[in-house]
Amino acid sequence: MAELIACLSTGKGTWGHVARLMQDQEWTKIYLITNDYGKENFNSNDKTELINVNMGQGLIELRDEIKEKLGKRIQESEVAVNFVSGTGKEHMALMSALLKLGIGIRFLALTKDGVEEV
């Protein structure tokens, strides 16, 4: 088992991808980086924590907010990451925050063969 971190933001059909990824693999904890709309409207499970951030701020400020909010929570030295949902700015901020925290990353996605590392 591992911890999963994913963006939960824009993109048609991407919430369904994130939901299936959450269900099709056993996770110790799931952190979803989202905004007010995602926090209010996404159906999560008991292992999921929705991390509400201000997606409208600049890249550096977004990175710092994600770093501050995730740094207190992540228990592992390596996490699974999914970028199917969200924007390039959100992805870059999340990746930078994780690297600044010294956390290793593995990219996982839902494929026709199930959850796979990419």
Q: What's the whole-model pTM score? A: 0.91
Tell me whether residue 105 is exposed, middle or buried, using C-beta atoms within 10 angstroms of its C-beta: 0 to 12, 13 to 18, 19 or more: middle
pLDDT for the residue numbered 107? 94
Q: What domains appear along the chain, each with residue ranges and CATH number?
A: 2-117 (3.40.50.10770)
How many residues belong to the chain? Answer: 118
Cβ neighbours of residue 53 closer than 8 Å, sequence gap 6 or more:
33, 34, 35, 62, 65, 66, 69
State the pLDDT confidence band at 90, using cuts at 50, 70 and 90: very high
User: Is the pLDDT assigned to residue 110 strictly greater than 90?
Assistant: no
Mean pLDDT computed over 17-22: 91
The pLDDT score that the predictor gives to residue 92 is 97
Residue 4 confidence (pLDDT) = 96
